[in-house]
Structure 1
Amino acid sequence: MSELSRIPIGRFSIITQLTPKALRLYDKKGLLVPEEKDTLTGYRYYTMPQLETGIKIKLLTWLGFSLEEIGDLLEASESENKTVLDNLFNERLEETEKEIERLTQVRKILRNKEESLKLFYLRTTQPSIKEVPDIRVISLRQIAPIQQIGPMIGKIMQEIYRPENQRNMVSITGPIMFLHHGEEFTPENADFEVAVPITGRVTLEAKDLQVRTIPKSKVASTTYRGPYPEIGQGYVRVHEFVIENNYEISGPLTELYLNSPQEVPPEQLLTEIQLPIIQEDTY
């Protein structure tokens, strides 16, 4: 490499507006490997063609792509693989639109902070103790991303409305239930169950579904009104109630969806939160 074509890392950093720290990371990840490294000093030198790659990485990082995705995009660009490029850009667009929706809701709350703070407790009913009887359900339990709840509900509904089950008078007797069996919140790898209360003689085609009875229990209950992503407000209030009244949680956290996002706007969604409890020993 001639002296004129060698671009030191400092100058390369200024031109591409990528920090030396970022350039060293991209070197380590194989995204942008310097054309030459000084064996004595370890100093990195780049070439003119690598400037374009650096600018592309800068743009793709700003667009929110991960380093792994950027590597795939650069490789697809080099090989002119339009399918990979389209798929990755479409996935990023979908993620961006979801984030815009979330941020729009955040902005709405922040602009009305006084009202939002007042609603922190007004969105939930006063927690109470209730006895829940045995509930016969069709259920599906998986370890999966929490976003799979929609397809899981759809699979159960498809089974309920199969012609054979309809001839056997299978019908829904209560709200859709979500049971969280995990010991911690891991949205990408959650252990949870979706259940739909039913009556009638059920035959199942899908091997991962089951008919079971959720045993009766005593629960601390509250009803939350509002968008699902903000349901933590309800959990805070019912947990405070459990602690203040010397109860222990004895089973999976359960949500009952009392209406549907297909029928009402997010601010009118109603979710009952149930925490199975036992009385804590006090000595």
Structure 2
Amino acid sequence: MPADRIPIARFSAITRISQRALRYYDRLEILVPEARDPFTGYRYYTSSQMELGVKIKAICSLGFSLEDLKTYLQAEACGDWDTVDSLMEGRLSAVRLEMLRLKRIEALLKEERTELIGMALTEPAVKDVPALRVICRKETGILSPTIEKLIGELCSFVDLPASKRNQLKVIGPVIAIYHEDCAKGNENDRERGDEHVSVEAEAISDWSEKEVSIEVALPIAGKVEGEGSGIEVKSLPAARMLSMIHKGSYPTLHKSYQSVFKYMAGAGLEVAGPIRELYLSDPCKTAEEELLTEIQIPYRKER
């Protein structure tokens, strides 16, 4: 065997990448072996590939996804340092969020009595939300009555004979999407401390008293026929969100917004798009104090 022909087992030991991962990287064309035996199919690497293997191991150890890993390597290969820097900054923001989350967990665990369910409900978490195909309707109006009206119109559309004929089905919870800019306010207001409600939370609590732009969506499967009366079919884009579960009545949602915005301020994050609320409980069958609502906030590093 030539000296510069390294079998996969030895290359795995040198780079500390498992053989299974090396085979996977080969399929994804992230790290392709220099040669392959035409009879046995054995993979062989060269000494010149060791540096790339070690680099891949180091990047993965920082918590980058495979997609980000590919983007990083491609950007570095063509000298696109802006993309490399952007990936590093994004990962740093995610690490800081995770550190804040772990500090909160540490504080809770130090309490004599820790309610694990309460911790799960009150702890913001980073969540990759997939794209969703929905039917939706948008309108400007007072918060609660407008949401109820739009939900009724969407449900009526699903119940139409044409929708039933096309096996149109709702496959997820009702989603309210807020297009108002709730992230206004100055930095001093957002750093007041626990005894003050953040500017953003105050803005959201004020929505119940004024007209705002609201979109209500229902995740669906099946064919849609006869769009009209303001109802449209579209795909809500995939996004990385800061997610938090609120337990309690809808008028108390601002308390959870207060917590999540304080969390964002501590991590140097800002709102980066429309906020979503997912109503996980049926208010007709669930007591107010037991209602579960998921808040999803797209975020980015403060500019």
Shorter-chain TM-score category? 0.5 to 0.7
Distance 2:147 2:302 in 1: 33
| Residue aligning to 1:171 | 169
Deviations 1:227-264 (A, max 9, x none): 11011111011111212222221111110000111011
| Residue aligning to 2:274 | 252
| Residue aligning to 2:131 | 134
1:273 aligned partner, one-letter code: I
Query: Following superposition of structure 1 onto structure 2, how do residues 97-176 of structure 1 map, counting pairs within 5 Å?
Result: 124-146=121-143, 147-176=145-174
Kept in 1: contact 2:139–2:146 (CA 8 A) = no
The answer to whether residue 216 in structure 2 is matched with residue 194 in structure 1 is yes
The answer to whether residue 255 in structure 2 is matched with residue 233 in structure 1 is yes
Distance 2:281 2:260 in 1: 20
Q: Secondary structure at the match of 2:122?
A: coil
* Larger RCO of the pair (alpha carbons < 8 Å, separation 6+): 2
Distance 1:268 1:204 in 2: 37
Kept in 1: contact 2:270–2:299 (CA 8 A) = yes
Kept in 2: contact 1:218–1:278 (CA 8 A) = no
Please state how far the C-alpha of 1:177 moved relative to its aligned partner.
Answer: 0.4
| Residue aligning to 1:48 | none
Distance 1:122 1:204 in 2: 45
Query: Where do 4+ consecutive residues of structure 1 move more than 6 Å?
Result: none
Kept in 2: contact 1:123–1:225 (CA 8 A) = no
Deviations 1:79-121 (A, max 9, x none): xxxxxxxxxxxxxxxxxxxxxxxxxxxxxxxxxxxxxxx9xx8
Closer, same or farther: CA 209–257 of 1 in aligned 2, 3 Å: same
| Residue aligning to 2:22 | none
| Number of aligned residues | 162
Distance 1:222 1:157 in 2: 26
Kept in 2: contact 1:252–1:276 (CA 8 A) = yes
1:267 aligned partner, one-letter code: E
| Residue aligning to 2:284 | 262
Deviations 1:125-172 (A, max 9, x none): 210001001111111111112122111101000101211111111111
Determine which structure has more spread, i.e. the larger CA radius of gyration. Answer: 1
Q: Secondary structure at the match of 1:164?
A: helix
Distance 2:227 2:296 in 1: 30
Identity %: 31
| Residue aligning to 1:82 | none
Kept in 2: contact 1:123–1:224 (CA 8 A) = no
1:128 aligned partner, one-letter code: A
TM-score normalised by L of structure 1: 0.54
2:220 aligned partner, one-letter code: I
TM-score normalised by L of structure 2: 0.51
Distance 1:247 1:128 in 2: 13
| Residue aligning to 2:233 | 211
